[in-house]
Structure 1
Amino acid sequence: MGNYRKHKKSKYKHIRIIGIVILFGAIAFGIYSLSEKTFTNKKLSALHIAQTNNSPKKTNEVNGYISSDSPKAVSGSMQIVANSGVPQWVKVPSNEQLNRFTDMSKDGLTIYRINNPEVLKTVTTLKTPRRSMTDIEKEYPNTLIMNASAFNMTTGQIVGFQINNGFLLNDWAVGNYLQYAFVINKNGSCKIYDSTTPASTIIKNGAAQSYDFGTALIRDGKTVPSDGSVNWEIHAFIANDKSNNLYVILSDTNAGYDNIMKGVASLHLENMLLLDSGGSSQLSVKGKTIVASQDNRAVPDYIVMK
């Protein structure tokens, strides 16, 4: 009987030990699982952050994305000049022979195609005085005239990347955001450059004039995703097609990015750049007002074509 009791106690003792071992094993496994899950979640979270940082960020607009890691602007590659001299005409040849000015307006867009024109840029210094469209019409009769680059509304000083007569008036702004300029070269070819290309290279490549304000919508024949800057306002654009015809384009209020891009799709444009918009938007053809400024605004920079 005594041996039986000892055996029974010993049996219960072994069972308790096994139970304790199992309990501690379960606890250890739980701690390991929780740690592993936490570590995995941290890795996934870090991976998500890394992917997010290297991926395009969506704009407030439903139309497109912008890069989250815009390259630094290359500025200071050459000396700027205080005055580029008297504005010079630049011939922009096309391989087609068409009417000089052709109205192609449609669907909330004012569109003029310009074939084989000579082109002049009015800004010659950063402090070129603002002038009304009427003044420019008197100086350059029988021409097509549209507002061009932006300016500081307080000081009146021209802003953005500015070249005239082959001289650099204003360099890319220092910053980590991509800037664009529509450039007409001395040989009449057209190209959109961005702020990753230094001014010295652009001028070495033959730049005669540049126009700057906003984003490129089409570049080298390819559509650039919307960055949200083309909104409900009236907008002005400069463009060229594969045959090197020039285009001036003004959108009606509330036209929007999608309608604008659909409206120009049939033109097969090579480049299209947003110019100064809103109240500055205005167009005159041979002395006739086609699009009037909303507030009769005088501006310093016009593109003139004859």
Structure 2
Amino acid sequence: MSTLLEVEDLDVHYGRPGAPGSVKAVDGVSFTVERGRTLGLVGESGCGKSTTGYAILQLVRPSGGRVLFDGTDLCTLDKASLRRMRRKLQIIFQDAHASLNPRMPIGDLVGEALDIHGLYPGAKRAKRIRELLDMVGMAGHLIERYPHELSGGQAQRIAICRALAVEPELIVCDEPVSALDVSIQAQIVNLLQDLQQRLGLAYIFISHDLSVVRHVSDDIAVMYLGKIVERAGKHEIYDAPAHPYTKSLMSAVPVPDPDIEARRQRIILKGDLPDPAHPPSGCRFRTRCPIAIDECAKVEPLQHPLAPGHWAKCIRL
């Protein structure tokens, strides 16, 4: 596997740098995504997951760092170059209905991206639109319908269809199933996995649902208050979490075996997520950490290697 995306020290800060109240929504985030693989990005609401995804696509301009896609730094591209590059990077939003223009029929919603990038002109356009709809399990007779006539699952399939239209290599999936019923969630997840196998896609799958993330991901990065605190393959994260925050998240994932579930120890964190405009000194998790010591307030933890491809940021490791 070769590296498709490399994120280096990515920052997204709101407000004047260094000024009181400046929010470091994403602070020094680094990771890689390999071709054809899925990186799961997990954490509580407000930890910076979605902002990271938007910054990678340059929907939010980073305050610092680099986003290298196939060797090209997206942060340095002008508007025209970025538009051409966006053929290769797409996004699926959480609220599918909100991401679809209510005044456009389904056929035009899917065909819009083809028109923008000059793909499949003339008579080829209608044929390609029907091919894309079939690819996501949508019947061709829906081509004249409008978004308000679709169910939540159908709308999300159209959102996926729009992302596929320009033949991307990487798709950021921003909570793509959280607004759907459980049975529909499974259908959409299975569709995404099938498309990945058929088309060789890479995904960044952003979610707070750890059960779904475990099902779809190859690797997992855990975020807390703008920083990644642990990164590993999914089996290492779920079977041997190292960071106290990761352990608390994993303890909340239900186990289908009632005997095992009854014996498990649930780790319940105290307190609320700190104000991102005034994060704690040292380790940002220390105010809620069950094993914090005085040194945690003075030293910002560095990456501690635990095994090949597995690291965590904690001075207690």
- In the superposition, the TM-score normalised over structure 1's length comes to 0.25
Task: With a CA cutoff of 8 Å and minimum separation of 6, indicate the structure with the bigger relative contact order.
Answer: 1
Structure 1 or 2: more helix by fraction: 2
- In the superposition, the TM-score normalised over structure 2's length comes to 0.24
In terms of Rg, which structure is larger? 1
